[in-house]
Amino acid sequence: MNLRKLSIITGLSYFIIFFAAIFANFFAIEALLKNPLETIQQNHLLVRFGILAFLVTVVFDVVVAWALYLLYKSNYLSSLSTLFRIMHAAIMGVAIFALPLAFKATTSNDILNHVHTFNTIWLIGLFFFGIHLILLGRIINTPKFITLFVILAGVMYMIDTCAHFLLPDYDAYSSIFLALVAIPSIIGEMSLAIWLLLKGFKNNA
């Protein structure tokens, strides 16, 4: 497989992860957090599809890790970057196990406990994902603004995870941290995905 095809596969996989994660987080998980018992009892299909969407993100996380490694394997940091992304995918896979358990819960508190378990394990995975992004920013040859936003996103993922565990009043600042993570992540990773689809490795086709 030539590098141009790998570049397109990587870009498309990024978009699949992006849209699957949006659905799983902002529809399924948000519904559980707002109305846990009602969602499980009356809208359980939304949660089931949310779990499936999370599984899709894990699968394509591995695809992206594989493709990025092949694209940049000449760089001495590529193997390390790939390992940290695989660690994130593995931890995310473990976190997903908490969500099906919510179907057996009979109280809102029990359901929320399973969701919080999922979020906590996922947060740990995002710390390693942040390291991957920092390394990736050092590896990729793209317009400078993309690499800067990718590295910044990685730093913010790591800071946000640390803040969750270090700040007892994290919830008071959660919207600020969300913005600090989401803005560079969306700009950096989506710009990278678009670049890979439209321009990446064209000379190697």
**What is the reported pLDDT for 199?**
85
d(CA 26, CA 7): 28
Q: pTM, whole model, 2 decimals?
A: 0.94
Buried b (16+ CB within 10 A) or exposed e, 163-202: bbeeeeeeeeeeeebeebbeebbebbbbbbbebbbeebbe
**What is the reported pLDDT for 197?**
94
**What is the reported pLDDT for 204?**
57
d(CA 105, CA 107): 6
The answer to whether 48 and 29 are in contact (CB under 8 A) is no
Q: Residue 12 pLDDT more than 90?
A: yes
Nearest Cα to Cα of residue 129 among 182, 86, 88, 68: 88
The answer to whether 119 and 151 are in contact (CB under 8 A) is no
Q: Residue 205 pLDDT more than 60?
A: no
pLDDT tier at 95, thresholds 50, 70, 90: very high
| Distance set, CA 84 to CA 76, 91, 112 (Å) | 14, 11, 29
Residue 106 main-chain phi, psi, to 5 deg: -115, -5
C-alpha gyration radius of the chain = 18
d(CA 134, CA 150): 7
**What is the reported pLDDT for 157?**
98
**What is the reported pLDDT for 1?**
79
Mean residue pLDDT of the chain comes to: 95
Instruction: Give percent of the chain above pLDDT 90.
Output: 95
**What is the reported pLDDT for 202?**
77
pLDDT in tens, 59-93: 999 999 999 999 999 999 999 999 999 999 999 99
pLDDT in tens, 123-175: 999 999 999 999 999 999 889 999 999 999 999 999 999 999 999 999 999 99
The answer to whether 67 and 13 are in contact (CB under 8 A) is yes
**Residue 160 corresponds to which amino acid?**
D
Mean pLDDT of 11-39: 96
Mean pLDDT of 191-203: 89
**What is the reported pLDDT for 9?**
96
Q: Residue 53 pLDDT more than 70?
A: yes
